[in-house]
């Protein structure tokens, strides 16, 4: 798609972080809550350089995972788009591709989909990469022809968007998609920290408080 034919419509999604509680420091009315970004601990953008140093790196590339990502990338290439480098490094890495699954307090699991046309923006696509075990929430890369890429969350499986229009009429797709991170690595870091923190606060598994978790929690203790 050339610059002359790129759509000019750029929806500004509501910014919300979808997550569970952090013990008494951040209540949650159910399995998940949608939190305002201003209430979250601020993150240092300088940490997110695509190397995932906070995780210890991504490890060697797994050929089978890289092959699946290549197939997704090939579909996107037809629309003039590419997968972000931090996303491909993480999803193809032996030490990283299941890192979010391993810490998830709600049994979320990695599931990289084929490109999904955006239901609200012509020319844009989504790629689901993580889903709740009961499909309460899905997380997607949101990709625009301009090269912009960020992470959104939705309670709906957008791969099956047409099915949601029946029998009760059209869905408010715009209202069902929330922007939750400016980059994949930013999303992965906050998800990784918060889920580890949940386990430490609730005494679940062998997770214990460390400087990373204590520093994150301090934001709520000061509030």
pLDDT tens, residue by residue, 100-123: 999 999 999 999 999 999 988 889
In 3D space, the residue among 213, 184, 206, 195 whose CA is nearest the CA of residue 31 turns out to be 195
In a domain, 8, yes or no: no
- Residue 9: its pLDDT value, please? 62
- State yes or no: pLDDT of 167 exceeds 80: no
- State yes or no: pLDDT of 170 exceeds 70: no
Which residue stretches of the chain are H helix? 63-77, 85-92, 99-103, 184-202, 211-222
Tens of pLDDT, residues 120-159: 888 999 999 999 999 999 999 999 988 999 999 999 999 8
In a domain, 18, yes or no: no
In total, how many domains does the chain have? 1
In a domain, 184, yes or no: yes
Residues spanned by the domain of 141: 48-163+170-222
Distances in whole angstroms, Cα of residue 125 to Cα of each of 76, 112, 144: 8, 13, 7
Instruction: Enumerate the β-bridge partners of residue 125.
Output: 117, 143
Secondary structure element (H or E) that encloses residue 128, with its range: strand 125-131
- Tell me how crowded residue 210 is: count the other CB atoms within 10 A of its CB: 11
Q: Which residues contact 150 (CB under 8 A, 6 or more apart)?
A: 141, 142, 179, 181, 182, 183
- Residue 222: its pLDDT value, please? 87
Secondary structure element (H or E) that encloses residue 140, with its range: strand 138-143
Q: What is the distance between the alpha carbons of residues 22 and 26, in angstroms, rounded to a whole number?
A: 5
In a domain, 2, yes or no: no
- Residue 193: its pLDDT value, please? 98
In a domain, 121, yes or no: yes
In a domain, 17, yes or no: no
In a domain, 42, yes or no: no
28-51 core/surface letters (b: 16 or more CB in 10 A; e: else): eeeebeeeeeeebeebeeeebebe
In a domain, 211, yes or no: yes
């Amino acid at each position: 798609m050339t610059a002359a034919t790129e759509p000019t419509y750029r929806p500004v999604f509501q910014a919300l972080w979808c997550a569970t509680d952090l013990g008494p420091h951040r209540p949650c009315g159910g399995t998940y809550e949608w939190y305002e970004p201003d209430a979250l601990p601020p993150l240092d953008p300088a940490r997110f350089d695509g190397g995932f140093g906070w995780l210890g790196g991504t490890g060697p590339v797994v050929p089978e995972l890289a092959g699946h990502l290549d197939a997704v990338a090939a579909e996107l290439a037809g629309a003039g788009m590419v997968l972000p480098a931090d996303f491909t490094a993480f999803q193809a890495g032996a030490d990283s591709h299941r890192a979010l699954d391993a810490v998830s307090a709600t049994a979320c699991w990695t599931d990289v989909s084929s490109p999904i046309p955006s239901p609200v923006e012509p020319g844009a696509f989504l790629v689901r990469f993580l889903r709740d075990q009961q499909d309460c929430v899905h997380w997607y890369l949101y990709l625009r022809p301009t090269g912009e890429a960020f992470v959104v969350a939705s309670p709906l499986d957008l791969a099956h968007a047409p099915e949601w229009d029946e029998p009760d009429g059209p869905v408010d797709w715009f209202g069902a998609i929330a922007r939750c991170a400016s980059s994949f690595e930013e999303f992965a870091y906050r998800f990784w920290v918060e889920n580890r923190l949940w386990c430490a606060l609730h005494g679940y598994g062998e997770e214990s408080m460390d400087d990373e978790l204590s520093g994150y929690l301090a934001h709520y203790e000061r509030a």
